Amino acid sequence: MTATAKYWRIALGIAVIAALIIVPMNFNRYGLYILSQWAVMTIAAMGLNLTLGYAGQVSLAQGAFVGIGAYAAAIMTTQGMPLIAALGVAVVLCFAIGWILGYPALRVQHHYLAFVTLAFSTLAFLVFRNEDWLTKGIYGISNIPRPNVMGFATNRPLPFYYFCLGSLGIVSLAMWWLIRSPWGRAFVALRENPVRALSLGIDTRRYTLMAFAIGSALGGVAGTLYAPLTQYIDPVPFNLSLSLDLLMMVIVGGSGFFFGPFLGAAIAVLLPEWLRFTQGYYLMLYAVAVMLLLIYSPTGILGILDRYLAERRTKAASALRAVAKSRLETAP
């Protein structure tokens, strides 16, 4: 990459962040709610992107982990405990469950993890619905308080949106660091060629479990933000279709690309709002759009961009080569 392209990228990044901070200032309550939802879903999708995009494990339980996080937050904060304690519980719980759930993936080929996680997802939903003493069953938990962050109350929509955006920023930085660390490179090695990874001395068992557990824990983080966002939770949002939605977000955005989940979540959360004028047809249009996109580019939207950039780069490189060659030929 040339130096100017790098500066353009940095400028674009700063502009997007500034826009995310400044533009919503005069949004109404509903607009802020949707944007906060985007931030929360992006965190959950980032976790799944680590599991799926970087480590190559298919999980159909990310929605269940969001549910576990949301219930942890709802139960603990309505009892008067701080949200940060709930966050700790959710992360530890989701990490541990993810670790245990990952074991079948070690024994069998990768699509079986999809089946195990599918079963887990439905089991978790049954627990949310049936264990009244803990989750209040189908009546749900209401009046979930929003947290105070460093002395600032986040009861109003705008401060809470900034809270979500800030959390997204922290998670993004942590993820950025993680995928550039030796761990992240080990995850990619695992996806590309497990046998070779093993021969290079990577403990594939541990890293497979690790990728799945970290991804699940991020689902829990998203859940602890989801509960104070909606301030009321019941089991319905955390059924299997949330897991499928999150999976679609990752694939549509571009799995294995850092910014894939941001884009995928934006499409899944914001597109229905823009397509509101089509009334009942929007989900149908969304489904058709996803299918067409996947037929055209199975690597998602960022896959199209990536292909285009790669093509331009090879063209530029071959042009340079041609120039160099003609110089060689004309040289005395």
Partner 1 sequence: MSNLLDLLVAGLATGAIYALVAVGFTLLWQTSQTINFAQGEFVMLPAFLMLAAMHAGAPFWLAIILGILLSMLLLGLAFKLLLVDPMLRHGVLPLAIATMALAIGMKEAVKQFFSAEASPFPSIVPAGDVTVLGRVISLQSLGVLALAIAVVVGLTLLLNRTSIGHQMQATAQNPTVARIIGVPVERMILLTFLINAFLVALASLLITPIYLAKFSSGEVLGQAAFIAAIVGGFNQVRGAIAGGLLIGVVDNLAAAYVSTQYRAAVPLALLIVIILFRPQGLLGRPEERTV
Task: Choose the stretch contacting partner 1; rule: CB under 8 A; options: 2-10, 88-96, 203-211, 289-297.
Answer: 289-297
Positive or negative torsion for Cα 301, 306, 307, 309: positive
Which 235-274 positions form the footprint of partner 1 (CB under 8 A)? 240, 244, 247-248, 251
Name the DSSP letter for residue 50: I
Smallest distance from the beta carbon of 295 to partner 1, in angstroms? 5
Positive or negative torsion for Cα 143, 146, 147, 153: negative
Residues 6 or more apart whose CB falls under 8 angstroms from that of 51 comprise 57, 59, 62, 211, 212, 214, 215, 216
Please identify which residue in 17, 84, 85, 108 interacts with partner 1, judged by CB under 8 A: 108
Smallest distance from the beta carbon of 103 to partner 1, in angstroms? 8
Which 135-194 positions form the footprint of partner 1 (CB under 8 A)? none
Please identify which residue in 78, 122, 172, 231 interacts with partner 1, judged by CB under 8 A: 122
Residue 256, exposed/middle/buried by CB under 10 A (0-12, 13-18, 19+)? buried
Residues 119, 263, 261: CA angle, nearest 5 degrees: 40
Residue 304, exposed/middle/buried by CB under 10 A (0-12, 13-18, 19+)? middle
Closest CA to 118 of 69, 45, 64, 61: 61
Rule CB under 8 A: say whether 129 interacts with partner 1.
Answer: yes
Distance CA 211, CA 163 (A): 26
Rg (CA), the chain: 22
Task: Choose the stretch contacting partner 1; rule: CB under 8 A; options: 16-24, 147-155, 212-220, 276-284.
Answer: 276-284
Which 23-82 positions form the footprint of partner 1 (CB under 8 A)? 58
Distance CA 170, CA 258 (A): 14
Please identify which residue in 5, 130, 317, 323 interacts with partner 1, judged by CB under 8 A: 130
Please identify which residue in 280, 329, 330, 331 interacts with partner 1, judged by CB under 8 A: 280
Please identify which residue in 48, 75, 116, 227 interacts with partner 1, judged by CB under 8 A: 116
Number of amino acids touching partner 1 (CB under 8 A): 37
Closer to partner 1 by Cβ: residue 53 or 219: 53
Task: Choose the stretch contacting partner 1; rule: CB under 8 A; options: 88-96, 109-117, 143-151, 221-229.
Answer: 109-117
Residues that bind partner 1 (CB under 8 A): 58, 103-104, 107-112, 114-116, 118-120, 122-123, 126, 129-130, 240, 244, 247-248, 251, 280-281, 283-284, 286-288, 290-291, 294-295, 298
